[in-house]
Amino acid sequence: MKAKKALKRLGKAEAILSNVIDQYAGQTSVRELLGTAKATVARAKAAVDSTAASAKAGKKPPAKADKSRRGGLTAEGRKKLSLAAKKRWALAKRKGMNAVTGRPLRATA
């Protein structure tokens, strides 16, 4: 569980215990037990908070990229792609298929 979520849940538990202690008018031994439970929850909350703070302090900020590179094809790469496409189209035409859709060509009458 992440520290933020744990702190939230421990805070809710502490609030519920406080509410129960305030509303309980019974035996003092039960109130003492509830009080120690509340103190334990508060200690756990402090421990989680301190570990979260130390973990956050140890993190490095994300590194920035050196320089943005421009993408794109070189003239040589563009020529190779063009030749490959022409070969694919010629093969499809020999097989009687449409090069783009892959469906058979129909003769028009």
Q: What pLDDT shows up at residue 106?
A: 79
List of long-range contacts for 53-56, beta carbons under 8 Å, 24+ apart: 55/3
Residue 37 makes CB contacts below 8 A (sequence gap 6+) with 17
Same domain, 52 and 81: no
With b meaning 16 or more CB within 10 Å and e meaning fewer, what string describes 93-108? eeeeeeeeeeeeeeee
For residue 84, pLDDT over 90 is answered with yes
The SS3 assignment for 70 reads coil
Is residue 95, in this structure, part of any structural domain at all? Answer: yes
Same domain, 20 and 53: yes
Is residue 86, in this structure, part of any structural domain at all? Answer: yes
pLDDT range class, residue 53, cuts 50, 70, 90 = confident
- Write out pLDDT tens, residues 92-107: 888 888 888 888 887 6
- Write out pLDDT tens, residues 61-79: 778 877 777 778 899 999 9
Report the mean per-residue pLDDT for the chain: 86
Distances (CA, A) of 24 to 6, 27, 39, 72, 78: 27, 8, 17, 73, 81
How long, in residues, is the chain? 109
Same domain, 53 and 83: no
Same domain, 52 and 10: yes
Domain that holds residue 32: 3-57
Is residue 44, in this structure, part of any structural domain at all? Answer: yes
Is residue 70, in this structure, part of any structural domain at all? Answer: no
pTM for the predicted model, two decimal places: 0.48
Same domain, 79 and 52: no
- Rounded to an integer, what distance in angstroms lies between the CA atom of residue 94 and that of residue 105? 11
